[in-house]
Amino acid sequence: MPEQAGPEKYSHVAVLMGGLSSEREVSLSSGKAVAVALEGEGYKVSKIDVGPDLAEQLTQIAPDVCFNALHGKWGEDGCVQGVLELLKIPYTHSGVMASSVAMNKDLTKTILANAGIPVADSKTVSRKEAARGHVIKPPYVLKPVCDGSSVGIFMVLGELALPGARILETGHEDDKLMAERYIEGRELTCAVRDDEAFCVTEILPADGFEFYDYDSKYVEGGSKHVLPAQISPDINLLVESYSRLAHKVLGCRGISRTDFIYDERLGKDKGLFCLEINTQPGMTSTSLAPEQAVHSGLTFGELVHWLVEDASCDR
């Protein structure tokens, strides 16, 4: 990619950060890192901690474009994207449809499976059903259908491991949970920009973490990123190919990141499973997608610059 010479189409960027979801703190970190990088690229930057008055704030400051650094509900699920469409303000990352679909794990899995991307067997149930008894045969993982960053996950690894009442304590009894077959294997992830796969990273939870959960992701020293992943060329190509295909069939724009689990014991033809796709991956300089971009030859500043200049409405 050639050296950037400052803003091109846009000059004043509003960085949307914080928000109202369970991933607020992560979003604040992403937004602050993005704001610093964009200022370094020559943009005028306004930081907005997003709340119900977002439309009023944007009307007052009148930015050329919005950099969406929000994560989770109301930022990654099509809601904010819809507000920006109404205000006719160009924005980064995926549009209304792709964002809302990708946030729903159940619907996403159906689309991915229909496209030929392997996914783990699962069943969607209410939180009340999941608390009452095993909804599929253990071992399995219970995860909210519409949430991200491994928020609210329960590992059910045996007949006696049912979380029971703890499931109800974390949400409304009618909330939908996905019971997904537990696959023991290597955690792999790959970011895509347009049709370009950056590289594959293996994520290793640090000692003391049962799996790559919220704390393992965001607590300092909670995980180790190995990039490029030390996997066979065949598996590397499969992960990159499936990531590009997932980005395409879900209609993603800008950058996305797709997560996989790989059970080497089952071999390359049966051991790789797609877990989910992230349309708003973390955007600090040490987050997975920016790390991969740097490995592929882009600085963090160049990456956020490209995302801003790629922004539009009707995405």
Choosing from 46, 68, 122, 149, the catalytic residue is 149
What per-residue confidence (pLDDT) applies to 171?
78
Q: Can you give the pTM of this predicted structure?
A: 0.90
Task: Tell me which DSSP letter residue 265 carries.
Answer: G
Whether residue 309 lies in the annotated active site: no
First to last CA, the chain: 23
DSSP state of 145: T
| Phi, psi values for residue 30, rounded to 5° | -60, -50
The reply to whether 23 belongs to the active site is yes
pLDDT for the residue 214 = 45
pLDDT for res 295 = 96
Active-site option among 41, 180, 276, 310:
276
Q: Return the percent helix, strand and coil in the chain, to nearest 5.
A: 35, 25, 40
Q: Which two tokens stand for residue 169?
A: 């304590």
214 annotated active-site? no
User: For this structure, is 3 an active site residue?
Assistant: no
**Structural domains of the chain in order of their starting residue, each with its CATH number:** 12-93 (3.40.50.20), 102-118+184-279 (3.30.470.20), 122-181 (3.30.1490)
Q: Residue 42 catalytic?
A: no
Q: Is 276 a catalytic residue?
A: yes
pLDDT (tens place) for every residue of the chain, 315 residues total: 444 457 889 999 999 999 999 889 999 999 999 999 999 999 999 999 999 999 999 999 999 999 999 999 899 999 999 999 999 999 999 999 999 999 999 999 999 999 999 999 999 999 999 999 999 999 999 999 987 545 678 999 998 878 888 888 877 777 899 999 999 999 999 999 998 999 999 999 876 545 544 444 545 556 899 999 999 999 999 999 999 999 999 999 999 999 999 999 998 789 999 999 999 999 987 899 999 999 999 999 999 999 999 999 999
Q: Indicate the helix (H) or strand (E) that contains 142.
A: strand 140-144
Task: Give the integer Cα–Cα distance in Å for 204 and 207.
Answer: 9
> Would you call 75 a catalytic residue per the annotation?
no
Instruction: Tell me which of 91, 140, 212, 218 is the catalytic residue.
Output: 218
Q: What pLDDT was estimated at residue 213?
A: 47
**What pLDDT is recorded for position 269?**
80
Instruction: In whole angstroms, give the CA distance from residue 137 to residue 142.
Output: 12
pLDDT of amino acid 68: 98
> Which are the contacts of 230, defined by CB distance < 8 A and separation ≥ 6?
202
Is-catalytic flag, 85? no
